[in-house]
Structure 1
Amino acid sequence: MAETTLYFTIVDFLIFALMLAISACTALYFAIAKFRRQQFLADSDYHELSHDEEDEESITPLKGGLGIFVGFVSAITYLGIPAETYLNGVLFWSISLTVIPTALIINNGYLPIFYRLKLDNVFDYLEMRFSRNVRLVGVLGNFFNLLIYMTVIMYGLACALSAVTHVSLWGAILSIGLVRTIFTTVGGVNAILWVDLFQVVLMIAGFLGLIIGGSVEAGGVVQLWQNAMSGDRTYLFSFDVNPTTRHTTWSLIVGGIFLNLAFLGPNQMSIKKYKTALTESKAKKAVWIGMLLCGAFQILAVFAGIAMFSFYKHCDPLSSGQLKRSAELLPHFIVDMFSSVPGLPGLLVSAIFSASMSSSSAGIYSLALTTFDDFIKLRWKEMSPFKSTILIKSLSCFYGLLCMSGAFAISQVNSILQTVLSWAGILGGPVLGVFTLGFFSSRSNSKGAICGSLTGFAFGLWMFLGAYIYPPFYADPPLYTVGCYSNTTKVSPLIHTFNDGSHSRKFRDINEDVEFQTTIASEVKYPPIASLYAMSYLYYSGATWLITIVVGVFVSAVTAAPPKPDPLLLNPHLDICSCCRKDQPDQVDLLCDGEMKATIKYHRSASNLMQMETWQVQQELPESFAEQND
């Protein structure tokens, strides 16, 4: 294979631009339509996202499931999983096994409460259940998690565009950032919802095209798998219980469940899809549809990585110097394999952008709405709909530009998948833990929730910084470079330097029966505590969640017991602290002349962040009882 880099042709550029234009025109269409109905400024997008009754009536399980799927999939999935499979093998497929337990937990643990409360803002729950301060902790954790997520997505898209065009990375960040900001700011949430189906078709077709093309190039599916097997990339399972092993079946399943819950459970981007279903059962069906689509898509991404390795089995573009970042692998593969079919590379690369347009736009919108709800609206409560609209759109524009600036700052990141999942565990795990305390622990109070979440944040950040200062070493499958060189050129195979941002990389020249390692672990002396930092990044979410729960329950137990929470705010099936408290009775028997004459049942309900108490009498009291108690 020649050591050359191919780029888009004119036809590819036209097809790629057409796909982006469809999304942009969709945004403009809804903006103009709202203006013509004289609702563009009268009805703010904030009102639309929170109280759009027309959307509530039109949500079906299929549409809701597609929305969940598109919101979950992004450039991280489209670029990260194939690159991970290419570098380390098919073991990452195990994360697709998490979709079933995730759907079960969401449908039975979180969704029923959110659906019945019909909250417009997911963090209203924390204020109802605990206090304003707990809400602020949850808001800030989710805010920075989303901000980092959106920033890395933009960076991944810029890497993809830079790999297939002559545009520099900085130029790609600038152009993509402006397009996405305009799409979100002008089109609003309607544009985000209505392009879901178009993007689903394009994303799935993109991966299927890569898998089919790779199979044809290899000589069939069997040969494709054999090529991966010869490269030590077909280990389907690893039951190693060592927590310092980067990827195992256990870490992918356990860590994947907590990461999925952080993204799809108590999350502002998901709550609208849950609460707008006509019935709770339809909302649960939507979760099942969305999660099963996510699992199938992750498996397709793994197969795309196998096809990519088979194509480059003798000439790795990273170690040969053709590429600098693993995020550039998939778009480079698309152009390299389909360069003989004008327009097809442009169509397939546009699928990568479709995988991110909806989720990233919804994320930016969520940042704007969170800022408006939790900071601005509290100070200026009488703000008019006109000003609310302008302010929310301005915030969307600001956060789009902020993510663009952040993408410039992280331009040295190579492993976008590990970066996103690490920070999702550090920030998302404690937020998930606070909601879990609220749902499943009637004994928990605001002090416990705050102490637990802050401890979880601190632990996750400590582990991340420790792993950054003392990066762990892993044994990885080899990458080959012999096919990159012509017969008339002699290039030394002894040094091939590449680091994917997370661990050292090993390369092998098949003409020499020798393996070379870029960094030798034995030459680096780490202090004993460095072994703690070697914990797999996939466990960050579960560890921070568990620490939040344990510390939260302990602090709540040693501080003053809170009033009995509203039953609507608790999961009716499980209370992890039911043995730690004596609850107020749910009913009181009233006696008259030594005989029970009536039963009063005690109920509590939530309304507008206030707990209201009501009493219901089972039957009329006798007059003698009233006279006796005058």
Structure 2
Amino acid sequence: MVAYEPTFGIVDYILLLLMLLISAAVGLYFACRGNKQRTTEEYLLADRDLSFFPVAMSLLAGFMSAIAYLGIPADVYKYGTMWWWYAVAHVLAIWITTTTFMPVFYRLKLVSVNEYLELRFSRTTRLCAAFIFFVQKCFYMGLVVYAPCLVLATVTGMAFEWSVLLIVIICTFYTCVGGLKAVVWTDVFQMTVALSGFFAIIIKGSVDFGGFSNIWDINERGQRIEFFNLSPDPRARHTVWSIVIGGTFVWLYISAVNQMQVQRLLACKTLNTARLSLILYGFGLVLITTLPCMVALVAYAYYNKCDPRLAGKIQRDDQIVAYLVVDIFRDFPGLPGIFVSSCFSAALSSMSSALNSLAAITGEDIVKAMWPNISDTRYTMINKITVVFFGLVFAGLTFLADVLGKLIQTVLAFAGTFGGPLLGLFCLGIFCPRANNVGAITGFLVSLTFGLWITTGAYMYPSASSGNSLPISTEDCMEDVAGNSTALFTMSTTENPMSFVNETMTEIQENEEFGYRSGIMGLYSLSYTWYCCILCLITILIGLPVSIIKDRGEKQKVDPRLLCPISEIFICCLPTRWRKTEDRSENKEYYQNSMVADLEFESTKV
């Protein structure tokens, strides 16, 4: 075990406590305001009266979890700057969401995004999607809570269990009592705090190295700067193709059909407000993809000759940013506190978003099906109880996170495995008029089964898909490992100071000896970045033919409000006999009435 010297001072603890108290105060404010969160519209959708700026900031905060705060810099530090291509994937995903998915969902006045699947296919499809959302979100939030608790334990020596308890209680409290308005406005505050931590690291590093250009030069010499890996091999961990194409599918799932994000967009005043929120969110995603990459470059500039993990100062790659902060800011009281507050803010914002969205899914997809005539007051109370329940579930799953490996890779692998089939379901519904319930469920189940198989196999049989880390050095580490008084972490006196280094070196060498596997085992070497793309396509490529075979010769009628106009592009690629016999011209009057209703609704909200 690595022992550590607590570096938190009284100022740092005060800043952390202040951030937590402000978050709780926002929840109390909205609990006592207006209808006091007694109605469904207010509790889950903030009366559908939110403006674009707080919604965009809340969307960003949902992404800017402690996983991104710790995982992205750790990934770039170890594997290089190919990660930045996710910024392109973000822009493509937001553009597709704005032009196709969001207009359909907003005009249907949904609360749960899964309600669309019942309107388009069946209740069974809706419940399947709800179940997968529960599983994916609970495991994801276990990682989200784990990350800041890891930081707090790293820099203060606080017991991990107490860290978990602290974050779960605070977040569950203000989400439970304050509803979506509390979630959104605490997200605005927490996003500001979270960004300040990144800027502090980048500015301090630039000052210490005489400008960011010198940091860039150090990283170039260390082979960290890489932007044009054009390898077509799908087993390569990060390439331009895998990140831009595969990443677009991942972020399309997150932005277009994920309840956490869609629920905020549905709470906007108008459709144009929702679109503007998405556009601002897209620009913000580029920023918070770039900043963690810059932080990673700063970290490598400091530790290019003494990697902290090989030196035994940290145990996991994901601790590199926490170690960097308490190391370079040790003479600046309060700055480590700002960093930990930033990390906690990122985690709180993601957790509150997840709790609120899980309450919406549980209420709309399950509770209302069991008690369709439930009163609004009782229904809102059940939503609040649901928030508390899932808060406890998150706390329990946090203790499983330590065995799942690299934070950011694990999260995106989960998003691909569960998100790919879900995204495929919605794509079948919105873009494929010939898709029906039988085809949708068949494609979904086949895709999900295949995804679980590949993910489980990749976890059980580690392969080169995990990527070979770039060169690291320990040439200046010997003095610190031997007991340099300036080292932040020191080895336990009962251990051999070099044993941890030797064990870590052996582990890295063993991992890098894995080669690409052949045959069926070769699927386990597939880069995690492709999971969502492949599984989404499997859902569509199986679901659509099964639907066509099932309905051969029959005339299927689909409510045109459930389709996106871009679906006509896909229809024209099908053989004439497969095309839907009822085209848009037959529904011209229906479409006109639908558009009039939309315009009337928009005018009442302006």
Does the alignment reach a TM-score above 0.5?
yes
**What count of residue pairs does the alignment treat as equivalent?**
571
Distance 1:416 1:239, change over 3 A: same
1:347 is matched with which residue: 338, 360, 363? 338
Pick the aligned partner of 2:41 from 47, 57, 68.
47
- Counterpart of 2:8 in structure 1 is 8
Name the CA distance, whole Å, in 2 between partners of 1:378 and 1:144: 20
Task: Report the Cα distance in structure 2 between the residues aligned to 1:538 and 1:525, rounded to whole angstroms.
Answer: 16
Deviation at 1:520, TM superposition (A): 5.6
Partners of 1:168 and 1:478 in 2: how far apart?
Answer: 34
- Could you tell me how far 1:518 is from its partner in structure 2? 4.0
Q: How does 1:601-616 map to 2 (within 5 A)?
A: 603=590
Instruction: Spell out, residue by residue over 1:182-220, the C-alpha distance to the aligned partner (whole angstroms, 9 max, x if none).
Output: 232233222112223322322222111111111222232
Rate the CA distance shift 1:30–1:585 in 2: closer, same or farther, 3 A: closer
Contact 2:422 2:444 in 1 (8 A): yes
Q: Specify the SS of the correspondent of 1:482.
A: coil
Question: Matches of 1:574 and 1:488 in 2, distance apart?
Answer: 62
Q: Deviations over 1:73-128 (max 9, x none)?
A: 21121111111111111111111111221122111111111122221221111111
Match of 1:262 in 2: 253
1:100-139 matched pairs, under 5 angstroms: 100-139=91-130
Q: Does 1:484 align with 2:477?
A: yes
Contact (CA 8 Å) 1:566, 1:606: kept in 2 or not?
no
Structure 1 gaps, min length 5: 507-516, 589-599, 608-630
Paired residue for 2:428?
Answer: 437
| 3-state SS in 1 of match to 2:590 | strand
Please give the per-residue CA displacement for 1:407-434, whole angstroms capped at 9, x wherever unaligned: 1122223311011100100101111110
Cα distance, 1:505 vs. partner?
A: 6.5
Would the alpha carbon gap of residues 320 and 168 (structure 1) be closer, same or farther in structure 2, given more than 3 Å must change?
Answer: farther
State how far apart, in whole Å, the 2-side matches of 1:424 and 1:562 are.
Answer: 36
Distance 1:231 1:586, change over 3 A: closer
After superposing the two structures, state which structure 1 stretch, 226-235 or 447-456, moved more. Answer: 226-235
* 1:230 Cα offset (Å): 2.4
CA deviation after TM superposition for structure 1 residue 487, in Å: 8.8
Matched with 1:361 is 352
From 48, 70, 93, the counterpart of 1:79:
70
Aligned-partner Cα distance in 2 for 1:519–1:123: 41
| Structure 1, 561-570 or 100-109: larger mean CA deviation | 561-570
Query: Residue 187 of structure 2 is aligned with which of 188, 196, 202?
Result: 196
From 241, 244, 247, the equivalent of 1:253 is: 244
Question: Which range moved further: 138-147 or 234-243?
Answer: 138-147
Is residue 57–residue 191 contact of structure 2 (8 Å, CA) maintained in 1? yes
Aligned mates of 2:116, 2:232 — CA distance in 1 = 37
Change (3 A) 1:558 1:227: same
Aligned position for 2:562: 569
- Deviation digits for residues 202-243 of structure 1 (CA, Å, limit 9, x no counterpart): 222211111111122223212211221222211122111100
CA spacing shift, 1:134–1:186, aligned 2, 3 Å: same
CA distance in 2, matches of 1:141, 1:16: 35
3-state DSSP of counterpart to 1:237 = coil
CA distance in 2, matches of 1:100, 1:520: 34
Listed as ranges, the matches of 1:424-463 within 5 Å are 424-463=415-454
Which deviates further from its counterpart, 332-341 or 68-77?
68-77
Aligned equivalents of 2:502, 2:77: Cα separation in 1: 17
Once residues 443 and 480 of structure 2 are traced to their aligned partners in structure 1, the CA distance between those partners, rounded to angstroms, is: 63
Task: Quote the residue 1:24 is aligned against.
Answer: 24
Contact 2:312-2:500 within 8 A present in 1 as well = no
CA contact (8 A) 2:67 2:144 kept: yes
State the one-letter code of the partner of 1:48.
E
The answer on whether the counterparts of 1:251 and 1:539 sit within 8 Å (CA) in structure 2 is yes
Residue 597 of structure 1 corresponds to none
- Does the 8 Å contact 1:173/1:408 carry over to 2? no
- The structural deviation recorded for 1:525 is 11
Q: After the TM superposition, which residues 152-171 of structure 1 pair with which residues of structure 2 at under 5 Å, given as runs?
A: 152-171=143-162
Partner of 1:63: 54
Counterpart among 579, 582, 586 of residue 581 in structure 1: 579
Contact 1:564-1:583 within 8 A present in 2 as well: no
Contact 2:125 2:441 in 1 (8 A): yes
Percent same amino acid among aligned pairs?
33
**Pairwise CA distance, 1:51:** 5.6
CA deviation after TM superposition for structure 1 residue 158, in Å: 1.2
> Given that residues 334 and 349 in structure 1 are in contact (C-alpha distance below 8 angstroms), is that contact kept between their aligned partners in structure 2?
no
Distance 1:488 1:282 in 2: 56
- 2: CA distance, partners of 1:167 / 1:385: 42
Aligned partner of 1:497 in structure 2 is 503
How much has 1:605 moved relative to structure 2? 9.7
Judging changes above 3 Å, is the alpha-carbon distance between structure 1 residues 249 and 392 closer, same or farther for their aligned structure 2 residues?
A: same
RMSD of Structure 2 on Structure 1 (CA): 2.7
Give the counterpart letter for 1:444 in structure 2.
A
Kept in 2, the 8 Å contact 1:90–1:302? The answer is yes
Equivalence for 1:337: 328
TM-score (norm 1): 0.85
For the residue of structure 2 that corresponds to 1:314, the secondary structure is coil
Distance 1:397 1:271 in 2: 22
8 Å contact from structure 1 (residues 456, 545) kept in 2: yes
Aligned residue identity for 1:14:
I
Letter in 1 for 2:301: S
Corresponding residue to 2:279 among 284, 288, 299: 288
Residue in 1 aligned with 2:533? 542
Identify the residue that residue 604 of structure 2 maps to in structure 1.
none
- Mean alpha-carbon deviation: is it higher for 317-326 or for 380-389? 380-389
- Following the alignment from structure 2 to structure 1, what is the Cα–Cα distance between the partners of residues 378 and 321? 44
Deviation of the 1:530 alpha carbon:
2.0
The answer to whether the 8 A contact 1:566-1:605 is kept is no
CA contact (8 A) 1:496 1:518 kept: no
CA contact (8 A) 2:434 2:580 kept: no
1:324 aligns to what SS in structure 2?
Answer: coil
Q: Relative to structure 2, which stretch is displaced further, 271-280 or 550-559?
A: 271-280
In the TM superposition, residue 298 of structure 1 has moved relative to its aligned partner by 0.7
Deviates more, 1:89-98 or 1:474-483: 474-483
Query: What secondary structure is seen at the aligned counterpart in 2 of 1:232?
Result: coil
Match of 1:312 in 2: 303
More strand by share: 1
The structure with the larger Rg is 1
SS in 1 for 2:479: coil
Question: Which residue in 1 is equivalent to 2:220?
Answer: 229
Structure ranking higher in helix proportion: 2
Q: Which residue of 2 aligns with 1:209?
A: 200
**Structure-2 change in CA distance of 1:582 and 1:453 (3 Å):** closer
Counterpart Cα distance in 2 of 1:562 and 1:121: 29
Structure 2 gaps, min length 5:
484-496, 595-606
TM norm structure 2: 0.88
Letter in 1 for 2:262: I
- Give CA-to-partner distance per residue, 1:238-275, whole Å, 9 cap, x none: 11110001111211111211111111102222223333
Whether contact under 8 Å (2:463, 2:517) holds in the other structure is no
Q: Which has the higher contact order (CA 8 A, sep 6+)?
A: 2
User: Which of residues 507, 513, 527 is equivalent to 1:521?
Assistant: 513
Distance 1:340 1:81 in 2: 26
CA shift for structure 1 position 49: 4.2
- Secondary structure, counterpart of 2:233 in structure 1: coil
Residues 168 and 231 from structure 1, CA distance in 2 versus in 1: closer, same or farther, beyond 3 angstroms?
farther
Matched, 1:396 2:387: yes
